[in-house]
Amino acid sequence: METKKAIIISILNFKGGVGKTITAANFGDMLSKLGFKILFIDADKQGNLSQYFSKFKEDKKGLDRILTTKCVDIKEFICKTENKNIDIITSNMNLYEAERKIYNMESDKFNILKIALDSVKNEYDYCIIDNAPTIDL
């Protein structure tokens, strides 16, 4: 029996204000209406995608904790949305400090998110990442 594996789509552009967040949100919404299960990851410290889904909180732990805590259970940070087919991992300015911690880590810092997503890859059809308009780690 073959297990499903989420397709990961990363929306990025090094310029701000070009519609990355709304592209991610609309694309995921469209896929959810076709019956696909979507996991959004807000990878922008501004937290615009988190705000879009009314899940933004300045002190909430989300992507920052996943990236900086060894052996964390990613499921603890997945938030349900009003759409039964859409979940989100939120972000806020805590991601700024997390990026600094990651930079100094000895581990494989380029695969932290991929490894974390492995535990939920069979629960979603698509994982859509809304990235910041930077070349940060």
At residue 7, what are phi and psi to the nearest 5 degrees? -85, 125
Domains annotated for the chain, with CATH where assigned, are 7-131 (3.40.50.300)
Place of tokens 């732990």: 61
pLDDT per residue over 2-47, tens digit each?
567 889 999 988 778 888 999 999 999 999 999 999 999 998 888 8
Give the DSSP H/E element, type plus range, for residue 103: helix 94-103
| More confident call, 78 vs 113 | 78
**What is the spatial distance between Cα 46 and Cα 48, in angstroms, rounded to a whole number?**
6
What is the overall mean pLDDT for the chain? 86
Tokens of 58: 């300045």
pLDDT of amino acid 1: 47
- Residues 108, 114, 120, 122, CA torsion sign: negative
For residue 59, pLDDT over 80 is answered with no
Which residue, 100, 76, 89, is CA-closest to 130? 89
Give the DSSP H/E element, type plus range, for residue 127: strand 126-131
pLDDT per residue over 87-132, tens digit each?
999 988 778 778 777 777 766 767 788 888 888 989 999 999 998 8
Q: What is the pTM of this model?
A: 0.87
